[in-house]
Amino acid sequence: MTAVKLPSDAEAAVATPEFEAAAIRQESRRGFLLAMPSYAYLVLFFAVPLVIVVVYSFATRNRFGGTDLSGWNLASYARLSEPIVRDILFRSLWLALLTTLICLVIAYPFAYYLATRTPVVRNLMLVFVMIPFWTNFLVRNYAWRVILGNDGPFTDVTEAIGLGERELLFSKTAVVLGLVYSFLPFMILPLYAAIERIDKRLLEASRDLYASGLQSFRKVLLPLSMPGVIAGSILVFVPSLGAYVTPDILGGSKTTLLGSYIVTQFLTARNWPFGAALSFVLMAVMLTTTVVYFRKGGRTL
């Protein structure tokens, strides 16, 4: 007969999960409240317009350039298989891909160089990378038009080195050049952040374990910097695919890309359903690329 009853282990344990659950519940409620403004923003400016676009893409254009929301059909999507539209789609995809690859090749060595400098040099060079952002995007694109155009510095150079008067303006090359120029910082920054995080002794360890410089890059540096490669590629590919200003200014009418084609549908052709269908396809492509890329990247990490 024991006078004092000691709490058994079971009893002591009962209280804890309850407290824990309550704490977790409270924590998540607080999290939700803090996130409220962002949710509201997303719904208002992302989800609602998206629904409108989808709805419009199934509607019909009436004779006066207005939109009939009553007769729902797939006509706009059917037009995607037309040769002109298909060409524009593939050209846009190809140029966006090319832009991404060129950015990657240029940005990687630069980001590595940046990540291995002293902090002072590093910050100074990062400022240089950002400087173009201080000038308006349009102005910068028109500047390229002057550089590449007739009698511009570029033709002066080609003439001087004996290649004759070459004109780059209003070509796919000019568009890619402009896109690379515009989006290069978006590749450099995530790559730099990813490479900077890597313990540089891992590279030494690989050299110590008989890897050549190239093997060291392929087996250690590249796999470990993959998050940066993925982030940078998406940040360049997605806006390149939808780019409107640069192709318009530097590509001229010969190289219509998806962005300008969509604008034409809304503003000139006044075919809102078709414009909406194109927009939706563009968005779907971007979304799948992003998801696939992240999945793939996630596995290799």
Partner 1 sequence: MTAAVEITGITKRFGDVVAVDNIDLTIADGEFFALLGPSGCGKTTTLRMIAGLEFPTQGSLKIFGDEVGTLPPNKRPVNTVFQNYALFPHLNALDNVAFGLKMQGVDKSTARKRALETIDLVQLTGMDARKPSELSGGQQQRVALARALVNQPKVLLLDEPLGALDLKLRQEMQGELKNLQQNLGVSFVFVTHDQEEALTMSDRMAVMNDGKLLQVGSPEEIYEHPANRFVADFIGQTNLLEGRVLDSETVCLANGAHVTGTSDLPMGTEVAVSLRPERAHLGPRDETHSRQAAVDGVVESVTYLGNARVYHVRFDWMVIEVREENRPGATLHEPGTPVSVSWDPSAVSVVAD
Please give the single-letter amino acid code of residue 141.
N
Neighbours of 222 (CB within 10 A): 14
**Residue 299 is a binding residue for partner 1 (CB under 8 A):** no
Nearer to partner 1, 63 or 299 (CB): 299
Residue 75 vs residues 78, 107, 227: alpha-carbon distances, Å = 5, 43, 40
Q: Which of 51, 219, 292, 298 binds partner 1 (CB under 8 A)?
A: 219
Distance from C-alpha of 65 to C-alpha of 269, rounded to nearest angstrom: 8
Which window, 27-35, 54-62, 196-204, 252-260, contacts partner 1 (CB under 8 A)?
196-204
Nearest approach, Cβ of residue 224 and partner 1 (Å): 6
Nearer to partner 1, 198 or 269 (CB): 198
Task: Give residue 68's Cα distance to chain centre.
Answer: 34
How many residues contact partner 1, by CB under 8 A? 18
Positive/negative CA dihedral, 161, 167, 168, 171: negative
Q: Which of 79, 122, 207, 270 binds partner 1 (CB under 8 A)?
A: 207
Q: Which of 231, 221, 242 is nearest to 187 (CA)?
A: 231
Q: Which of 201, 254, 295, 299 binds partner 1 (CB under 8 A)?
A: 201
Q: Which of 206, 233, 260, 279 binds partner 1 (CB under 8 A)?
A: 206
Distance from C-alpha of 101 to C-alpha of 269, rounded to nearest angstrom: 34
Residues in touch with partner 1 (CB under 8 A):
199, 201-202, 204-212, 215, 219-220, 223-224, 301
